[in-house]
Amino acid sequence: MIKLIATDMDGTLLNAAHEISEENINAIKYAQSKGITVVIATGRAFYEASTPMAETDLKVPYICLNGAEVRDESFNIMNTSHLNHELVERIKAILDREDVYYQVYTNRGIYTEDPTRDLDIYLDIARNAGQQGDVEKIKAGIQKRIDNGTLKIVDNYKDIEDIPGELIMKVLAFNPDLEKIERIGKELSAISSLAVSSSSRGNLEITHSDAQKGIALETIANQLHIDLQDVMALGDNLNDVSMLERVGYPVAMDNAMPEVKAIAKLVTDTNEHSGVGKAIIKVLTEEK
């Protein structure tokens, strides 16, 4: 019996407009009415993940930054995992050597040395999701994030560690050369203290090895005294694999990567057609 549900955001719960459909909202509320805990599990930082959720009246726990930060329904931080100086230096050395652009995610914001390069990241994410990115809309979104302080411009990433209280929690690297990205991913994965995943072809999400969606979800399940066989997880990309392979009911979106579909018990509709809501209702209805 399903007692806990975890859903990814981009390419899963959110549509191309980064909105949560009424069908998805109603299905989550239905699950919650049955006493089921529904968790957001995303590569986004909390300040990015909470924006589309604020348009709804849903109250849920959050697994953010692929598990580097966990928050409860009241947004209280329950757990964090960050990259120490040595790991940051090893990551930067490899990415700089290969001339790969990257952003640095901290507990307070996202840092970039060149916001014009950020446009490439968001266009690539849209393209790999089968969507046509709106350049002007994305540019406006980047500027809005700069204006509200969630995207910070820094002359050199080395300056971040000099800021009191700033913790580096994730590095997001991007390059259109897929062979290069794959090679770098393998090199970084060989460092035992790192977890390397991807939220889109052409990018690498680099966190501490303790910071994975699956580990965070397992911790939440244990705290709630829920067996992982009674957990449902939904996702579309490689950074969802660690949770999908742990749970009793893994669900892949129809727009998911083949590697994700291969481990799923159910392939639901696309993120554009409320696949999350459809899967929740299907599974809970079949349990009656």
Catalytic residue, chosen from 8, 124, 236, 240, is: 8
Q: Which residue type, as a one-letter code, is found at position 218?
A: E
Q: For residue 142, what are its two tokens?
A: 């980047």
How far is residue 77 CA from its own chain's centroid? 17
How far apart are alpha carbons 64 and 52 in whole angstroms? Answer: 14
- In terms of Cβ atoms closer than 10 Å to its own Cβ (0-12, 13-18, 19+), residue 181 is buried
Q: How far is CA 112 from each of CA 1, 19, 95, 155, 281, rounded to the nearest angstrom?
A: 44, 25, 14, 8, 41
How far apart are alpha carbons 220 and 275 in whole angstroms? Answer: 24
How far apart are alpha carbons 40 and 9 in whole angstroms? Answer: 7
- CB count in 10 Å sphere of residue 110: 19
How far apart are alpha carbons 190 and 196 in whole angstroms? Answer: 10
How far apart are alpha carbons 196 and 283 in whole angstroms? Answer: 31
- CB count in 10 Å sphere of residue 179: 8
Q: Please say if 124 is a catalytic residue.
A: no
Residues catalogued as catalytic: 8
